[in-house]
């Protein structure tokens, strides 16, 4: 289920089976991590988010509501905030397959938001909530010191190197790259303990 909440008449839930009524689409794209690595030529399959929005969200909007942002939340509690114009781009998918295979847990099963023109942190894994917002949802943004240190850019466009909210991408890149090895190590330790 994907819950639709926020600036809508009432919270609703879209069953994953309901997505089969929408046209399927394949998108071949690179996946860019904010730390600097890229997985090239990935073939994602699913439904366009714009179609999901038109069928399941627009009919539920409060009259006169101007939508500016969408907050996407995964079953793991990780969320991203995406401007509406970026979420409605033609290549943004609710993907259920990667390279012809159903998504596994590492890649965001059962449904993952995939936004190829943005850094990977915008492509929410295990999607379970789409929150419709008429302003920037500040309750989704961290307020602590560490949150401000790693605060992502509001658009996170790869070709503009929009890695950080306040610091130029070329200056932030070395710090993100330095974090790759410790994160991989901690991730592998967590996987061994599971």
Give the domain ranges of the chain.
Answer: 2-138
List, in sequence order, the alpha helices (H) in 3-153.
49-52, 84-87, 145-149
Q: Which pLDDT value is given to residue 77?
A: 85
Confidence of residue 135 (pLDDT cuts 50, 70, 90): confident
For all residues of the chain together, what is the average pLDDT?
76
Q: Which pLDDT value is given to residue 148?
A: 46
Burial label, 92 (beta-carbon count in 10 A; 0-12, 13-18, 19+): buried
Cis ω before 110 (30° cut-off from 0): yes
Buried b (16+ CB within 10 A) or exposed e, 127-138: bbbbbbbeeebe
User: What pTM was computed for the model?
Assistant: 0.72
Indicate the fold that domain 2-138 takes in CATH.
Answer: Sulfite Oxidase; Chain A, domain 2 (3.90.420)
Confidence of residue 147 (pLDDT cuts 50, 70, 90): very low
Question: Taking Cα atoms as reference points, which of 29, 38, 141, 23 lies closest to residue 82?
Answer: 141
């Amino acid at each position: 289920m994907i819950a639709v909440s926020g600036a809508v008449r009432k919270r609703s839930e879209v069953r994953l089976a309901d997505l089969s009524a929408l046209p399927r689409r394949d998108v071949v794209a690179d996946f860019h991590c904010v730390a600097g690595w890229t997985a090239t030529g990935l073939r994602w399959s699913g439904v366009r988010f714009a179609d999901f929005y038109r069928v399941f969200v627009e009919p539920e909007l409060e009259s006169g509501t101007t939508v500016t942002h969408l907050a996407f939340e995964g079953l793991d509690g990780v969320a991203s905030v995406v401007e509406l114009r970026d979420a409605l781009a033609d290549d943004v998918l609710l993907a259920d397959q990667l390279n012809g295979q159903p998504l596994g847990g590492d890649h965001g099963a059962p449904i993952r938001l995939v936004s190829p023109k943005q850094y990977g942190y915008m492509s929410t894994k295990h999607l379970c909530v789409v929150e419709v917002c008429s302003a920037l949802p500040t309750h989704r943004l961290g307020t602590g010191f560490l949150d401000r240190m790693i605060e992502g850019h509001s658009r996170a466009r790869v070709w503009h190197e929009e890695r950080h909210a306040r610091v130029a991408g070329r200056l932030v890149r070395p710090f993100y790259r330095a974090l790759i090895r410790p994160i991989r190590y901690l991730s592998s330790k967590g996987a061994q303990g599971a």
